[in-house]
Amino acid sequence: MIRLTDQEFQNIVSYIKNNYGINLANKRQLIEARMYSVLVEKGLKNFSEYLTLIQQPNNSEEITQMLNKLTTNHTYFMREPAHFEFIKTKFLPAQERFNRRRSIRIWSAGCSSGEEAYTTSMVLKDYFSVGRPGWDFRILATDISEKAMSAGKNATYSAEALKNVPPSWLTRYFMKQGTDQYRINDDVRRHVTFQKLNLMLPFPPMQPFDLIFCRNVMIYFDQEDRNKLINKYYEMLNPGGYLLIGHSETIQRDSSKFIYLEPSVYQKG
Ligand SMILES: C[S@@+](CC[C@H](N)C(=O)[O-])C[C@H]1O[C@@H](n2cnc3c(N)ncnc32)[C@H](O)[C@@H]1O
């Protein structure tokens, strides 16, 4: 094991926090453990040499590898099911009444390996496949971890990862591959687009969204960065659009214009 000195630890924590918002101040062991193999592979003696390397120009491969190692990508299908119930029973009926475009745009921000985006695509497919023709929906799935997103683009999951998926969905929306793997079918996948996007930077030009998920991402950010990001989401929503955050997270009442609707569901007025 190559140990981090106090100074190196501070430098890595500041670098990650300033550029990606993630607060690793309590994660010294995690940094040492996850970065060890990278230092060995590159023949580096210590973390100071590593920091010098990632601060070089044209270092995008190094940064990609570091983000793949240091982000926490835990996610699963049907996570926080109350949100999908909200989408089915409130969001979609409201869209049917008020959305004249008949086109719905959803953003899964901090999508990790895509389970949140694909669960959403399946909920919308279920809804629009029965007697509601002429609707279009698109889901943008973004993250800074290319490794997680590459698993999402691959759209192949183990039977164990699908244990919360209803059996009817397994037959309708997945194709079995070999003994233990399932691939999401084209009809669900074609609605989801993956794109690398760092939430700490100004957003690139995008069409506004009707609903944004940002679940279990801001828990790693400090309050100031959370508030800034929440206000950026407000600007990216259509009037009446929704922001869904993780059930363990809250939006401070005075920090944004969002209206609280129910636990972890907020609306743009
Ligand atoms: C725990 S996962 C959450 C996945 C999913 N939203 C869910 O609730 O199951 C958090 C994700 O946020 C991503 N993330 C962290 N900081 C980010 C940033 N600055 N920009 C974009 N994504 C970020 C991580 O790479 C990770 O995949």
Which ligand 1 atom minimizes the distance to the CA of 221? 16
**Atom 14 of ligand 1, nearest CA residue:** 110
Please identify which residue in the block is written with the tokens 């100004």. 202
Average pLDDT for residues 132-148, to the nearest whole number? 97
Q: What is the pLDDT of residues 47-69, one digit of tens each?
A: 999 999 999 998 999 999 999 99
SS3 at position 71: coil
Kindly report the average pLDDT of the chain as a whole number. 96
Q: How far is the CA of 216 from the centre of ligand 1 (A)?
A: 7
- Of residues 27, 23, 16, 25, the one with CA closest to residue 50: 16
**Atom 10 of ligand 1, nearest CA residue:** 217
Q: How far is the CA of 101 from the centre of ligand 1 (A)?
A: 30
Q: What are phi and psi of 43, to 5 degrees?
A: 65, 30
Please give the pLDDT value at position 176.
96
Which ligand 1 atom minimizes the distance to the CA of 76? 9
Q: Given CA atoms 115, 117, 122, 123 in this order, what sign does their dihedral have?
A: positive
Q: How far is the CA of 250 from the centre of ligand 1 (A)?
A: 17
Residue 105, pLDDT > 90, answer: yes
Average pLDDT for residues 77-95, to the nearest whole number? 98
Which ligand 1 atom minimizes the distance to the CA of 214? 6
Please identify which residue in the block is written with the tokens 């940064």. 63
Please give the pLDDT value at position 157.
97
- Of residues 59, 76, 69, 194, the one with CA closest to residue 139: 194
Q: How far is the CA of 179 from the centre of ligand 1 (A)?
A: 30
Residues across the chain:
269
* Parallel, antiparallel or unpaired: strands 265-267 and 237-245: antiparallel
Which ligand 1 atom minimizes the distance to the CA of 20? 19
- Identify the residues whose C-beta falls under 6 Å from ligand 1: 20-22, 71-75, 79, 110, 112, 116, 143-145, 148, 198-200, 215-217, 220, 246
Q: How far is the CA of 113 from the centre of ligand 1 (A)?
A: 9
- Of residues 11, 20, 12, 9, the one with CA closest to residue 218: 20
**Atom 13 of ligand 1, nearest CA residue:** 110
Please give the pLDDT value at position 92.
98
Residue 1's pLDDT band, with cuts at 50, 70 and 90, is confident
Describe the crossing of helices 146-154 and 60-70 by its angle, rounded to 10 degrees: 80
Q: What is the pLDDT of residues 151-210, one digit of tens each?
A: 999 999 999 999 999 999 999 999 999 999 999 999 999 999 999 999 999 999 999 999
